[in-house]
Amino acid sequence: MTTSTPPSASGTTEVVLEADGLTKHFPVRKRGRELLSRTARSVRAVEDVTLRLHRGRVTALVGESGSGKSTVARLLAQLYPQTAGSIRLRGEPVDAKGGRRFRAYSKRVQMIFQDPFASLNPVHTVRYHLTRALKIHGNAGKTPQELEEALAHLLTRVQLTPPERYVDKFPHELSGGQRQRVAIARALGADPEVLLADEPVSMLDVSIRLGVLNLLRDLKERLHLAILYITHDIASARYFADETFVMYAGRVVEGGDSETVTQRPAHPYTQLLIDSAPDPDRPAAQEKDGGTGEPPSLINPPTGCRFNPRCPYAMEVCARKVPPRFAIGDGDGHFAACWLYDAGLSDADKVKLRPVEGVS
Partner 1 sequence: MTVVPTTGTATPVAAPVKRRRLRFVANPKATVGLVILGFFALVAVIGPWIAPYDPSGRSNDLLQGPSAAHWFGTTHLGQDIFSQVLVGTRSVMVVGFVAGIVATILSILVGVTSGYLAGAGSEVLSALSNVFLVLPALPLMIIITSTLPETGTLTIALVIGLTSWAWGARVLRAQTLSLRGRDYVEAARATGEKSSRIILFEILPNLTAVIASGFVGTVIFAVTLEITLAFIGIGAGGDWNWGTVLYWAQSQQALAQGAWWWFVPAGLAIALLGTALSLVNFGIDEFVSPRLRGGGKTNVKTADGHTVRMRVGFTPVLATKARSEGRETP
Partner 2 sequence: MSYLLKRIAFYLFTAWAAITINFFIPRVIPGDPVQALITRSRGQMTSEAVQSLYVLFGLDKDASLVEQYFTYLGQLLSGDLGLSFTYFPSPVSQVLGDGLPWTLGLVGITTVLGFLIGTALGTGIGWRRGSWADALIPVTTFVSSIPYFWLGLIAIALLTGPDSFFPASGAYDNGLVPNPDLQFIGSVLRHGILPAFTILISSMAGWILSMRNMMVTVASEDYVTVAHAKGLSDRRVMVSYAARNALLPNVSGFALSLGFIVGGTLLVEIVFSYPGLGLQLFQAVGAKDYPLMQGIFLIITLSVLLANFLADVAYLALDPRTRREG
Partner 3 sequence: MTDAVLEIRGLNVDYGLGDEAVHAIRDVDLTLHRGEVLGLAGESGSGKSTLAYGLTRLLPPPGVITSGEVRYHPDGGDPVDVLRMTHPELRRFRWAETAIVFQGAMNSLNPVHRISTQLTDVIKAHDPRGSSASRLARARELLHLVGISADRLDSYPHQLSGGMRQRVMIGMALALEPKVVIMDEPTTALDVVVQRQILRQLVELRERLGFSVVFITHDLSLLVEFSDRIAIMYGGRIVEEAASADLYRDPLHPYSHGLLNSFPALRGPKRELTGIPGSPPDLRAMPAGCAFHPRCPHAMERCGVEVPVLGVPPEKNHTTHEGPADRTVACWLHPVHDHGL
Ligand X SMILES: Nc1ncnc2c1ncn2[C@@H]1O[C@H](COP(=O)(O)OP(=O)(O)OP(=O)(O)O)[C@@H](O)[C@H]1O
Between 44 and 137, name the residue whose CB sits nearer to partner 1.
Answer: 137
Any contact of residue 142 with partner 2 (CB under 8 A)?
A: no
Q: Which of 1, 9, 35, 123 binds partner 2 (CB under 8 A)?
A: 35
Any contact of residue 29 with partner 2 (CB under 8 A)?
A: yes
Window 3-22: residues binding partner 1 (CB under 8 A): 3-4
Rounded to an integer, what distance in angstroms lies between the CA atom of residue 262 and that of residue 211?
A: 23
Window 290-349: residues binding ligand X (CB under 6 A): 298
H helix intervals, 176-321: 176-189, 206-223, 234-240, 258-263, 268-276
Q: State the minimum distance, in angstroms, from the CB of residue 179 to partner 2.
A: 26
What sign does the CA torsion over 315, 293, 26, 274 have?
positive
| DSSP 8-state code for residue 352 | B
Any contact of residue 232 with ligand X (CB under 6 A)?
A: yes
Window 242-301: residues binding ligand X (CB under 6 A): 298
Mark 327-356 with x for binding to partner 2 (rule: CB under 8 A) and - for no binding. ------------------------------
Torsion angle defined by CA atoms of residues 130, 136, 138 and 143, in that order, rounded to the nearest 10 degrees: 60
Strand locations in the chain (E): 15-27, 42-54, 58-62, 84-89, 92-93, 109-112, 194-198, 226-230, 243-248, 251-257, 326-327, 335-336
Q: State the minimum distance, in angstroms, from the CB of residue 198 to Mg ion.
A: 6
289: which residues sit within 8 A by CB, 6+ positions away? 359
| 3-class secondary-structure state, position 171 | helix
| 3-class secondary-structure state, position 52 | strand
Q: State the minimum distance, in angstroms, from the CB of residue 302 to partner 2.
A: 18
Between 33 and 100, name the residue whose CB sits nearer to partner 2.
Answer: 33
Q: Which spans of this chain sit near partner 2 (rule: CB under 8 A)?
A: 29-33, 35
Residues of this chain that interact with partner 1 (CB under 8 A) are 1-4, 77, 79, 99, 102-103, 106-107, 110-111, 113-115, 118-124, 132-133, 136-137, 159-161, 165, 168-170, 172-175, 177-178, 183, 186-187, 189-190, 208, 210-211, 214-215, 217-218
